[in-house]
Amino acid sequence: MVTAEVSADTLESYRSAGGAAYKLFIDAERRRDELVAAGKTPWTMSAAERSFLASAWVAFALQTIGDAFLQADYEADPGTVGFVPAITAQQAGLFYNEVADWLGFAAKAESDERFRLPVHMPFDLPAFVEVEPCPSAHLLAMLAAGRKVVEHAGIAVADCARSVKGGGHDQEVATLKGRMAAISASHDYAQSMHRDGVASNEVHEIIETTIKTVIMDAFRIGQIAVMPEADIQAAPSSPWAAPASRPSLPLPGQPGFDRFCLTDPHALGQFVGDAKARRAVDDLWAHDPSPQQTLALHEQILAALARGDIEYSKGRTGRIGSYYCCPWSAIYHVNRPIVIGWYRLEYGQEFTYDVSAEDMARGGAFKRDILVGSFSSTSKTDYCDDT
């Protein structure tokens, strides 16, 4: 009955030792409350204070994800408690193996005001183990891990917002909350696809790809919520990380600026001569609070395209066209894993660069997101002007 599984003795030892990570997390939450009460925010805390909180979050998240993998397998197959599929053992082990280092970082940060984390942040989640076919129990474990990490990432973002309370970082907090909302939406989508615990091979693959991205993104945003400067750092430990940079493209108002620089070049003919489109794009740039950030992310996309990391997405009859919303960005297919901005993209995913000021009229934030999804051709065109 257990020939296809391996002993979980080592994992059980890791899980037992994980009490230290949970205690640290409680201590860090108490310390965060003290700092907030003293008027500090993630932007004004000392480097050591941020290092402590970030280390506690990473240790807790790694332990939580590892525990979720183990517990979900036991619940899926109670008859083999103490044994898990080899892929689950390997995967949980990768997460557990990192916990001790982060417990050590937290201890140093708590006792030494000069301490700085010796790794680049945000720290990338250990790689997911690939196996075909992926056992159903392992998919359940990933879904359980996703629920845990998304829940606590959301709490971290809410705590960040609570600490600011109008203290001059409204735009950053709004962006952070927008990212968390997108992660939560993807998570809910993956969970809802697993209807009644049953999934076809095709659906299984979609769920697996989506929930992996959700877990990685939630793991990263939890770090950014306690260490905002990590948002502008690439992760050199990732061989495909694209470094953050200042844009070399001309900014609005500068000579050579192209109002349609974000538009799919294959769709330019449709929009350049359209007066309504020109007004819509001009309005977009007029409301952009940081065109530098918008163009810097766009240049990372162009660089990935030039390297062949991504390509224009195609349907059965050729390219599927641009995204239907202003500024009508191209839709891309990911050829190899890559990080663009803070977004980790996996092989086979499709995405577009979603830039919009539409929510600002309703009190929302300016949007500049990597939108991952399944795209298809449409004749619809949205000028994002509520008309």
Q: Is residue 246 part of a domain?
A: no
In the predicted structure, residue 287 carries a pLDDT above the cut 70: yes
Contact present, 190 and 198 (Cβ < 8 Å): no
Residues 358 and 227 in one domain: no
In a domain, 255, yes or no: no
If residue 212 lies in a helix (H) or strand (E), which one and from where to where? helix 201-226
Greatest extent of the chain over all pairs of C-alpha atoms, in Å: 71
The DSSP secondary structure of 3-47, one letter per residue, reads TTEEE-HHHHHHHHHTHHHHHHHHHHHHHHHHHHHTT--TTTS-H
User: What gap in Å lies between CA 313 and CA 293, rounded to an integer?
Assistant: 24
Q: In this structure, are 220 and 302 located in the same domain?
A: no
| Residues with Cβ within 8 Å of residue 159, at least 6 apart in sequence | 32, 225
Answer whether residue 259 is part of any domain: no
The answer to the question of residue 256 being in a domain is no
Beta pairing, strands 331-334 & 310-312:
antiparallel
Identify the weakest region by mean pLDDT among 74-83, 157-166, 228-237.
Answer: 228-237
Whether 343 maps to a domain, the answer reads yes
335 domain residue, yes or no: yes
Residue 237: pLDDT band with limits 50, 70, 90: very low
Q: Where in the sequence is the domain holding 92, given as residue range(s)?
A: 5-232
- CA-CA distances (angstroms) from residue 15 to 19, 80, 203, 282? 8, 17, 31, 55
Q: 228 and 276: one domain?
A: no
Residues 194 and 311 in one domain: no
The least confident of 124-128, 179-183, 206-210, 375-379 is 375-379
Instruction: Say if residue 233's pLDDT is above 50.
Output: no
Q: Is 27 exposed, middle or buried (0-12, 13-18, 19+ CB in 10 A)?
A: middle
Q: Tell me, what's the pLDDT at 72?
A: 82
Give residue 342's pLDDT band: very low, low, confident or very high (50, 70, 90): low
- Rounded to an integer, the average pLDDT of 201-230 is 86
Overall number of domains in the chain:
2
Cα-to-chain-centroid distance, residue 7:
33
Same domain, 321 and 226: no
Query: Is residue 184 included in any domain, yes or no?
Result: yes
pLDDT, average across residues 79-84: 82
**Distance, CA of 74 to CA of 298 (rounded, Å):** 45
Q: Which of 6-15, 32-41, 95-104, 354-363 has the lowest mean pLDDT?
A: 354-363
- Supply the pLDDT for residue 3: 41
**Domain identity same for 79 and 156:** yes
250 within domain boundaries: no
Q: Which of 232, 251, 285 is the last residue of a domain?
A: 232
pLDDT recorded at residue 54: 94
Quote the pTM value.
Answer: 0.61
Which residues, listed in sequence order, are joined to residue 332 by a DSSP beta bridge?
312, 351
In terms of domains, do 29 and 127 share one?
Answer: yes
Closest to 137 measured CA to CA, from 81, 97, 64, 178: 81
Based on the fold, state whether residues 149 and 277 are members of the same structural domain.
no
**Final residue of a domain: which of 216, 232, 248?**
232
Q: Note if the bond before 85 is cis, omega within 30 degrees.
A: no
